[in-house]
């Protein structure tokens, strides 16, 4: 009895990929925040001075960081999103100044991260979105 090695491997691959924990589930509907605390924090009640720290201490579904340059503005930027569509953008403009933008679209953040000139892209974001005062 001869065993075709190729068909055996193909069969094992199909079985393995169909096993629980291997396949990925793609959701095409809005998901409620899970294992996050961002939906329960009332950012409007937080004083502006403590807002950046409150955002950083809160658990978000999506967090991303971009380091740009220690000599340019912004030096560093972070994006925090609870729903994956919009979120907070914190930009460190100098050693002692962080600017916070609210309701920044994730698509705008993605463009900012992928931009060849992130400083020019940041200037466009500053025009498009208001800062939290």
Task: Quick: pLDDT tens for 9-53.
Answer: 445 444 444 434 333 334 444 555 555 677 777 777 777 788 888
Query: β-strands 86-94, 97-105: how paired?
Result: antiparallel
Instruction: Give bridge partners of residue 50 from the DSSP assignment.
Output: none
The CA angle 53-64-88, to the nearest 5 degrees, is 50
Question: How many Å apart are CA 115 and CA 45, to the nearest integer?
Answer: 34
Q: In what order do the strands lie in the sheet with 62-67?
A: 62-67, 76-81, 86-94, 97-105
**Residues comprising the chain, all counted:** 133
pLDDT of residue 19: 39
Q: What is the pLDDT of residues 48-66, one digit of tens each?
A: 788 888 898 888 888 999 9
Q: Where are the domains of the chain?
A: 30-128
CB of 86 closer than 8 Å to CB of 105: yes
CB of 38 closer than 8 Å to CB of 80: yes
Q: pTM, whole model, 2 decimals?
A: 0.70
Q: Which runs of consecutive H residues, i.e. helices, occur in the chain?
A: 5-17, 48-57, 106-114, 118-128
């Amino acid at each position: 009895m001869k065993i075709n090695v190729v068909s055996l491997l193909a069969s094992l691959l199909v079985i393995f990929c169909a096993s629980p924990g291997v396949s990925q589930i793609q959701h095409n509907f809005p998901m409620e925040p899970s294992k996050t605390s961002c939906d329960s924090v009332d950012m409007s009640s937080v004083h502006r001075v403590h807002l950046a720290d409150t955002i950083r201490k809160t658990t978000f579904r999506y967090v991303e960081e971009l380091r740009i340059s220690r000599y340019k503005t912004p030096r560093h930027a972070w994006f925090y999103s609870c729903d994956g569509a919009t979120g907070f953008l914190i930009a460190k403009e100098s050693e002692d100044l962080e600017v916070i933008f609210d309701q920044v679209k994730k698509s705008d953040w993605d463009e900012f991260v992928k931009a060849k000139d992130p400083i020019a892209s940041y200037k466009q974001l500053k025009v498009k979105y208001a800062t939290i005062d």
